[in-house]
Structure 1
């Protein structure tokens, strides 16, 4: 066997058998203590970790998600009743740490409008790296659903391939995402938007 063939076969042996490994976990209790290492499927090039805090009235849910992703971005989003923080990396088992708790981010002085299911004239204080305001809409069953809030620049544009989201835009400046809107089924779009960012 000549030298070129030997080098080629050696290269194939070392590169073909290696796929990215990430920790996986889905928890509604706020703890990923039972995370398991899993090999990623073909096409997944990053490991992600998500922390999401939802609060409706007196009910609060702290969710942690970890896994493989085809692509993702690190940043945070505040949609009023839902705050999310994501961390992405591209080496084996690099998502061992949880994404930061978004409710501990320090306010940065920026404000955006958010929707509560009845009105989009509420304001929310942005924090951490949330330097943009977001507006996302979808049409479902003849109704227009609107979600607004604060978002990190790195997450702007990541929602364009969400099946149910018809438009998404980010803007700079306080309250640049306008208060007027038509809104129904608020939580449905909110879940669609978050699931894409979390699992894409």
Structure 2
């Protein structure tokens, strides 16, 4: 049972990612990168112009574990609520998380701390109930903000937001490799316990 939950925990950890590029100015709300090129991506609040080659990212809820598990070096700030369990056996990602500046909690970001990090992109996978409490005007005054969460906790939505974030971060190749590992592990578990789990439905209560 713990092995099965570990596999589902990997999916829960996949959701989002992004990166950011320094521009020498804290107000990067126009989304320009060092090259000046931008692209439009979808956020829960509508289209957002982001840098084509972002280099500095503040990762809000749901994106930190995904980005760090993919080995991103562009994350410069993370929420202050994660525990080692979120990263499973990925000790490198956990150690990286511990070393990064913290930028508040899920529903209460530390806007001054985020501003001080001079990100050129802010990304999250924040549930609707928490997203409503966040001052989006303050965030967008610092850098382009992309939230990939629509409020659902379905595993299929996690797959989608993970893929979207990986594409935005230009890490699709690594993301595809990680997903392949997950599918292989899931299939291994299914084959081992097929007699007990076939025909049954499961729900991930918590990762």
Give the TM-score band, short-chain normalised: under 0.3
Q: Which has the higher helix share?
A: 2
Structure with higher RCO (Cα < 8 A, 6+ apart): 2
Between structure 1 and structure 2, the one with the greater Rg is: 1
Greater strand fraction, Structure 1 or Structure 2? 1
Length-normalised TM-score, structure 1: 0.24
